[in-house]
Every structure is written in C-alpha cells, then in structure tokens.
C-alpha cells in the first residue's frame, strides 16, 4: 500500500464528496465462492448499486463480470451466472489445469523419488527431499494438452480481443496424497540436469518448465468466460459507464498497476501511464496470474502478475483516488496463518515460502485495517473453509453459504453469541463433508465410530439452526442436516443418519 498517514482518514475522505458507491473484491483463487455468497446477500437483501468496482485476481473475474452493465438487475444476473460457473466445478483442473511438462513430471514421480534417493546418497542433494510425495495426488486427471488439434492456440495470430487473451492463457508450448510444496518442485527442477535414466521425459520437463515458467494453465472456467458465446464480453465493460480498476504488478518495475475499463493502465494514484489501450480481458488475465502457477502476461514491454503480490485487497484505490463515499469490501481470506511445525532442518525454500505467507497475511491485515478506518463495510471470514487452489463442490458450497452468513451478520449487527453459533455451524458442515467423503470412498475402510460421529454432527446441526434468527441464514438452511453435502459424484445411497 502507499505510505500515507491513516489518521482521520474516514472523515477526511468523505468530506465534501459526491455520493458514490464502490465495491472492492480481493484475490483468493477458488475461495471466491465466499465472495459470491456475500455478494448474493449484498445485492439481493441490502440492495447495493455500485458505480465503482475494484478487484484483484479472482476478485477481478467477479468484478469484470459485474461491470458489464451499470444496471443493478443486469449485475444480479451476472452474479447468478458466476455462481452457476463456480458450482459447476468438480475438480481442481476445472480452474487449474496442469501443463504438459508438469503432468509428465508428476507421472514420473516414482522414478524421481528413486533418482532422488540415489543422488541424495551420492551427496548432491540434501534436505530430505527423498520423502516427497506428488502434488495434488488425489486430483482428477487433467484434460488433454491445449496444444492438441482444435486448440485456440493454433490460431493465436489470427485472433483479437478476448479470444486472443484466451489463446494466450491456454497456450502450452511443451513437447509431449499430500502435496508437493513449491519449494520441493523448485529443488527437484534445479537437480533434474544431474539425473540420469529419464530419457525423453527429462527433456520434456526441463524444456516445458523453461518455456512456460508456470505449472498450470487456466482451466475450462476461463474458456466458459472468454470463449465463443461466453458469458463475458470485454467490450461491454468499456461501454457500460462503470468505473473499473483491475490490479496487477509489473515484474520489471515492481510497481502496482491497474487496468481501467477502457483498457489503459494507471498507477496506484490513478494517473494514466504511457502505452496503447489493451483488451480488458488481458488485464483480468494478468491480475489472475499467480506467480509460477500461471505465466506472466506481457503488456507494453513489461510482464505482469497477480495484483495480490502487492495489494490483495485494493480498497485504497476505491476509497482514495476514485472517491467512493460508501464502499463495500469483501475479502475471501481469513486473518492469520495456520501454525506450523518446527522449522528445524527446513530448507531455504521452505523458509522463504513460509516467510512470504506470513508477510502476505500481514499486508492484507493492513489493507483490511485501512478499509475499516476509512469507514468501509468490510465482510471477511473468520477462518478459511478451504485453500485457494482447492476445488471441491462441497467446500465451494459451504464457503458460499459462509459468505452469505458473514454479510448478514455485518448488515444486521449480529451479536457475539450469534456469530459464535454461525461459526460452529459452518465448522460442523466442514467436518461433516470430510466424514461423508470418507464414508462414500470405497477405498477407505468404513469406521463405525466415524459414522456415529457423522450422525451426531448432523443432529447437532438440526438443533443449532433453529436457534438463530432466520434472516441470519440463507434459504434452505433448515435442510442442511437432512442432505448430503455436495461431492464430485453425487451419492446414490440414502443418508445413513436418516435410516
């Protein structure tokens, strides 16, 4: 954030300003389901009518969809389309599709482990990496490579506008349990050249990692947004009359930049920068380009990555330069970081990543504090239902309901006791989802104790929901205890706790 004093900021920013309503949406990957729930409440119950939308990363996707029209009803319709898109996702590859080289890297996992064991004994690699396991080992298989016949990448030179953006995002220029951490990926890639016996796969992996500089391409969700007959039309954003800013960071200058609704780039003070306008979809792609997950996006001789690298919750742009007097700020991220085990013996990459995680949390705390001090209405989770790269239909729905509940709590002034009960209900649903998942998995031995715990949690849920004011819960909450939570494959058996 810009280094400005916050003293008296709330009163000074509103003094003499014309009424202007703004909406600020944070990054958070698949956790944007929390924002979808909160937005449903804000639009349908509170009745917000934002004239200004500012977003980062996943928040830029939501913001761009909403900003296609200044009409409130059209924004509500766009929100419902987004909700349907998110609820249609069933696996990680729907949002994050592995690149060819990374898929090959995972498929040779056992060979890599053996090679790492051998080379660790010979002394070139240290840090206990022989204990690694593969990343996202339980994820479904990724779709075929986007460089197969029929891919938009084939016709990239002939495309313009958002179709060019889609082709750029999905181009994969590569020859044919517990997660592996980014530090382990980097360490293994650094040592691949020392390995022997991997044949052509070694060339594929090394070439792919070097060319693409990322492990994933955006999944089918992006094609649904930008492809032929898609839900999003970047030209509508330009002509809607909405004021829009999408955050991104230049790797060359290190500066925070924003794309306006007209496709031009501005700095954090909203001063226009030199350069030609771009299709607005290019800015959304840049804002979502998580470093090493997705490839940096080139514009004006620079390369841009996720705006969250510098500002994951860009409330300052809306409240300061854009002059919003009433600002609704929705973040998908709970404050704080999960406690970790001892870092005795951890390698430098793990230390770096842990430090970055802590630093990012502290930065967003400052951004939330700024928004609150400036008088914004801030809606945030108290805990994370799932992580940003996790895609599961059950967790997405629980998180969406949680967003709706947190918005209702803020708007209605829920008591401490009511908030605690809401928290207990969402935590119970999260645990129920986990127990159901185990029960439905034929590979997991059935545990009678877990089944009894599942039944008890369902009955507790039945008893807890009526203790809250109905207006604090979304429609259908009284049925939560009777139904299965959502799963990638819909259960074909009756709920055992109802038998």
CA torsion, ordered 368, 374, 376, 378, to nearest 10 deg: 20
Which residues, at least 6 apart from 235, have a Cβ–Cβ distance to it below 8 Å? 161
Known catalytic membership, residue 342: no
Which residues does residue 330 pair with via DSSP β-bridges, in sequence order? 25, 379
Which is catalytic among the residues 94, 201, 279, 306?
306
Write the DSSP string, 376-428.
-EEE--SS-SS-TT---HHHHHHHHHHHHHHHHHHHHT--HHHHHHHHHHHHH
For residue 425, give Cα distances in angstroms to 168, 337, 385, 496.
43, 22, 12, 20
Known catalytic membership, residue 306: yes
Tokens representing 94 are 């729907």
**Alpha-carbon span 261 to 245, nearest angstrom:** 7
Tokens representing 263 are 């496709």
Taking the CA of residue 90 as centre, how many other CA atoms within 13 Å lie in the half-sphere pointing to its CB?
Answer: 9
Tokens representing 489 are 């494959």
Nearest Cα to Cα of residue 57 among 227, 331, 247, 292: 247
* 8 A C-beta contact, residue 281 and residue 223: no
Sign of the CA dihedral running 215, 216, 217, 222: negative
Which is catalytic among the residues 26, 33, 57, 332?
57
Q: What Rg value do the Cα atoms of the chain yield, rounded?
A: 23
Nearest Cα to Cα of residue 422 among 454, 476, 458, 469: 469
Tokens representing 8 are 């008296």
326-330 and 96-98: which strand pairing? unpaired
CA 7 to chain centre: 32
Positions annotated as catalytic residues are 57, 306
């Amino acid at each position: 954030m810009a280094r400005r004093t916050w003293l008296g900021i709330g009163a000074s920013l509103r003094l003499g300003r014309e009424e202007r309503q703004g909406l600020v949406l944070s990054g958070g990957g698949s956790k944007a389901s929390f924002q979808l729930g909160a937005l449903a409440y804000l639009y349908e119950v509170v009745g917000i009518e934002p004239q200004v939308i500012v977003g980062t990363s996943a928040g830029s996707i939501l913001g761009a969809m909403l900003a296609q029209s200044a009409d409130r009803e059209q924004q509500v319709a766009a929100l419902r389309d987004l909700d349907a898109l998110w609820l249609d996702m069933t696996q990680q590859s729907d949002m994050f599709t592995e690149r060819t080289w990374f898929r090959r890297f995972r498929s040779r996992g056992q060979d890599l482990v053996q090679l790492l064991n051998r080379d660790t004994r010979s002394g070139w690699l240290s840090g206990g990496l022989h204990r690694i396991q593969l990343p996202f080992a339980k994820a479904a298989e990724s779709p075929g490579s986007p460089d197969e016949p029929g891919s938009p990448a084939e016709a990239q030179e002939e495309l313009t506008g958002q179709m060019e953006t889609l082709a750029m995002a999905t181009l994969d220029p590569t020859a044919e349990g517990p997660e592996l951490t980014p530090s382990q990926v980097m360490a293994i890639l650094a040592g691949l050249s020392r390995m022997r016996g991997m044949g052509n796969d070694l060339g594929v992996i090394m070439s792919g990692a070097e060319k693409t500089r990322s492990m994933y391409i955006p999944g089918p969700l992006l094609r649904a947004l930008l492809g032929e007959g898609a839900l999003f039309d970047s030209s509508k954003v330009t002509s809607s009359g909405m004021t829009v800013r999408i955050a991104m960071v230049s790797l060359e200058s290190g500066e925070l930049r924003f794309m306006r609704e007209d496709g031009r780039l501005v700095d954090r003070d909203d001063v226009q920068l030199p350069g030609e306008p771009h299709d607005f979809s290019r800015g959304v792609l840049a804002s979502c380009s998580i470093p090493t997950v997705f490839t940096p996006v080139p514009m004006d001789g620079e390369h841009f990555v996720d705006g969250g690298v510098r500002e994951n919750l860009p409330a300052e742009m809306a409240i300061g330069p854009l002059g919003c007097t009433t600002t609704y700020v929705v973040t998908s991220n709970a404050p704080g970081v999960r406690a970790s085990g001892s870092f005795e013996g951890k390698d430098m990459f793990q230390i770096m990543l842990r430090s970055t995680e802590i630093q990012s949390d502290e930065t967003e705390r400052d951004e939330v504090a700024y928004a609150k001090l400036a008088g914004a209405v801030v809606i945030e989770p108290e805990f994370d239902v799932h992580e940003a790269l996790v895609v599961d239909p059950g967790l997405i729905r629980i998180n969406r309901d949680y967003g709706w509940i947190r918005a209702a709590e803020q708007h209605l002034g829920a008591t401490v006791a009511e908030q605690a009960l809401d928290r207990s209900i969402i935590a119970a649903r999260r645990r129920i989802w986990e127990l159901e998942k185990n029960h439905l998995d034929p590979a997991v031995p059935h545990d009678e104790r877990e089944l009894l715990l599942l039944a008890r949690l369902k009955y507790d849920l039945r008893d807890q929901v009526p203790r809250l004011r109905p207006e604090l819960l979304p429609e259908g909450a009284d049925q939560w205890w009777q139904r299965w939570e959502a799963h990638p494959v819909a259960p074909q058996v009756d709920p055992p706790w109802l038998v």
